Amino acid sequence: SVRRKRGEVSNALRQVVLCKDTACKIGLRVKAVNKGVFVCLVTKGSPAALGGLRFGDQILQVNGVNLAGYSSDKAHEILKKASENNVVMVVRDRPFERAVTLHKDSAGLVGFEIRDGKIVTIAVNSSAARNGLLIEHNLLEVNGQNVVGVKDKEIGTIIQDGGNVITVTIIPSLIYDH
């Protein structure tokens, strides 16, 4: 598994070597966006999850085949046809991810509201406003903790319990919803 600093955004390239599970699955679904192939679902505890793949990662290569221009169906087929062991992938860490650091005000608020993980409101004169947080973005992490697929109420608790400085990593909803 890959270790990262809290809220770190690298956009780096890396190689991931996976072995399929006993059901011959990797635990990954992808979407094609702008001629790139992106991770849109990672099954908990799957080989993909254990290999450190995350929602929003761009898969560049599988076993030496460049996926640029592939449809999601064609990419799924490549993954399905790959041998059980040594599925070698080249991955770019979440190219659309950004980190924004916020500070709580005296009421303990950072100044944004979410609906289904998507930022829908920025409060006037809040830390979110001062730091240029944007709507039409989805939360990926809060203080380095994954919040993809986490309920809004739980995310609220994570922020509440997260101390005075909150680093959120976000991705444009356009990529998220595509």
Where does this chain bind its own copies (CB under 8 A)? Answer: 11, 13, 33-36, 58, 60-61, 66, 68-69, 90, 92, 95, 98, 122, 124-125, 128-137, 172, 174
- Residue number, 17 or 174, with CB nearest to its own copies: 174
Taking alpha carbons only, the member of 99, 7, 10, 11 closest to residue 60 is 11
Smallest gap from Cβ 138 to its own copies, in A, equals: 12
117/150 Cα distance (integer angstroms): 8
E strands, the chain, where? 13-18, 28-33, 36-42, 58-62, 65-66, 87-92, 98-103, 112-115, 118-122, 137-142, 145-146, 165-172
Smallest gap from Cβ 152 to its own copies, in A, equals: 19
5/69 Cα distance (integer angstroms): 32
- Residue number, 13 or 165, with CB nearest to its own copies: 13
- Residue number, 151 or 178, with CB nearest to its own copies: 178
104 DSSP assignment: -
Smallest gap from Cβ 21 to its own copies, in A, equals: 27
Listing DSSP states for 64-75 in one string gives TEE-TT--HHHH
- Residue number, 34 or 83, with CB nearest to its own copies: 34
- Residue number, 49 or 129, with CB nearest to its own copies: 129
Smallest gap from Cβ 47 to its own copies, in A, equals: 22
